[in-house]
Amino acid sequence: MTLAALRADAHACFAAGLAAVEPGRLVATALGRDGDALVLRAPDGGEIARYRGRVCVVGAGKAVVAMARAAAGVLAASIADGLVIAPAGDPAPAVGSIAVRTGAHPVPDASSVAATADLLDLVGRAASDTLVLVLLSGGASALLTAPSDDLTLEDKQAVTRALLATGAEIAALNAVRKHCSRVKGGGLARAAAGSAGCWTLVLSDVVGDDLATIASGPTVGDPSTFGDALAALARLGVDPPPAIAERLRRGAAGAIAETPKPGDSLFARSHTRLVGRNADAVGAMATEAARRGYAVTVWPDALLGDAALVGARLAAAVRALPGRGPTALVAGGETTVRAVSGGVGGRSQHLAAGAAPALEGAPVVFLAAGTDGVDGPTDAAGGCVDGETVRRARAAGLDVETALRATDSHRLLARTSDLVVTGPTGTNVADVVVALRAPA
């Protein structure tokens, strides 16, 4: 079995993973009709809730346009109005009466703020005969941006950039975001308090699928506190803008009301349904690898921590798997990268580059990619390396370890012809890995 054949199979497995988390199909399994009633269904098909009447559709994220199209197909004439926010550079026409706006990601900008202000105004005007349907996917934390009244957009941008530069885990990032926002941490549910209720459909890009973490939990109770936000900044060594530091200190002292917590009566008429997650993509990749004749091992833990170290660990693991036939290792999660100034790349490219030295000379192909098709500030979804990547790098005058130290994986993988480029996929359930080993 050649490396070219292994590469073709790895890309086919990745495609199968993406198909399993296509947002339109996922929304259609959760939202349906029973006569004139709209029905929210559980994964097993059981009924969670039903509603007859007008519906206001709002949402944000990298998959929100596809989710809105699917929802509109079910809702039809029930839609009163709506507004969803997608990433800039991914413009889409309105979905019927649902307006589509854009904002910046991962650092919010003025367009994010303006679109969110209009979304909150729309939700705030939803009357007691109107259900608010919220559609959320990865990227919504940046796209849904409404700084607290004592903060500016520049304050939010500065602290977001500082946190991202540390490689902060999403829980720490969101604890700060929630306590500096009018929309995060249950803020959107608060805005919808005058409506008939709030249903939320969520496509998770968060390891563990914590609903309070995905999109910074705009429609669920927030278990984090002002104190947690302060502790996260201190632990990560981030010196926030003075206005944010003052707000968090005042909140921790009880001078500012906390975000609504789980069990608050605010959520009495709210229902949240997880429609898709990383495990769905990983499972579909494993199924496709098995269909192609590979003995499949699914990595038992979600991928976390330093991307290069995770890549090296997985590469060693696939080489050590038992059996002499074609073998596959499949995994998913979200690693981190502490970026070095001047380096270009993303966590999946860094993970793939980290695997390359441990694969040198081996008949193995190793693909790591973001399911959204956008890995860091680059045009790539990730990287697909093999046992010849290190040799190709040397022939191009490059050293893999040097590129890793400089967090310059994109330039390295471009020169070794190992980039995975899909363009935006319209979905987002974090990152996946498939490693394929040829028969001995």
Half-sphere exposure of 38 (CA within 13 A, CB side): 25
Query: Is it true that the peptide bond before 106 is cis, omega within 30 degrees of 0?
Result: yes
Residue 263 counted as domain residue: yes
| Mean pLDDT of all residues in 293-306 | 96
Q: Check pLDDT > 70 for residue 54.
A: yes
Residue 20 counted as domain residue: no
pLDDT value at position 92?
A: 73
- Per-residue model confidence as pLDDT tens digits over 167-210: 887 788 889 999 999 999 999 999 999 999 999 999 999 888 99
pLDDT value at position 86?
A: 93
What is the residue range of 351's domain?
Answer: 3-14+279-437
pLDDT averaged over every residue in the chain: 95
pLDDT value at position 90?
A: 62
pLDDT value at position 397?
A: 97
- If asked whether residues 10 and 37 sit together in one domain, one would say no
- If asked whether residues 139 and 216 sit together in one domain, one would say yes
- If asked whether residues 36 and 52 sit together in one domain, one would say yes
- If asked whether residues 419 and 285 sit together in one domain, one would say yes
- If asked whether residues 381 and 334 sit together in one domain, one would say yes
- If asked whether residues 208 and 232 sit together in one domain, one would say no
- If asked whether residues 247 and 207 sit together in one domain, one would say no
Residue 21 counted as domain residue: no
**Does an H or E element contain 264, and which?**
none
- Per-residue model confidence as pLDDT tens digits over 135-157: 999 889 889 999 999 999 999 89
The percentage of residues in the chain with a pLDDT greater than 90, rounded to a whole number, is: 87
- If asked whether residues 334 and 427 sit together in one domain, one would say yes
Q: Check pLDDT > 80 for residue 395.
A: yes
Residue 152 counted as domain residue: no
pLDDT value at position 139?
A: 87
- If asked whether residues 241 and 284 sit together in one domain, one would say no
- If asked whether residues 137 and 248 sit together in one domain, one would say no
Cα 241 to Cα 156: distance, rounded to the nearest angstrom: 9
pLDDT value at position 310?
A: 98
| Mean pLDDT of all residues in 314-338 | 96
Beta pairing, strands 79-87 & 327-333? unpaired
pLDDT value at position 91?
A: 61
Looking up residue 329, the CATH number of its domain turns out to be 3.40.1480.10
- If asked whether residues 231 and 312 sit together in one domain, one would say no
- If asked whether residues 168 and 309 sit together in one domain, one would say no
Model-wide pTM > 0.85 = yes
101-124 burial code (b ≥16 CB/10 A, e <16):
bbbbbbebbebbbebbeebbebbe
pLDDT value at position 410?
A: 97
Q: Check pLDDT > 80 for residue 37.
A: yes
Q: Is the sign of the CA dihedral 262, 264, 270, 271 positive or negative? A: positive
The answer to whether 134 and 201 are in contact (CB under 8 A) is yes
The answer to whether 99 and 72 are in contact (CB under 8 A) is no
Please name the residue ranges forming H helices in 21-109.
23-30, 64-75
Looking up residue 37, the CATH number of its domain turns out to be 3.40.50.10180
**Total tally of structural domains belonging to the chain:** 3
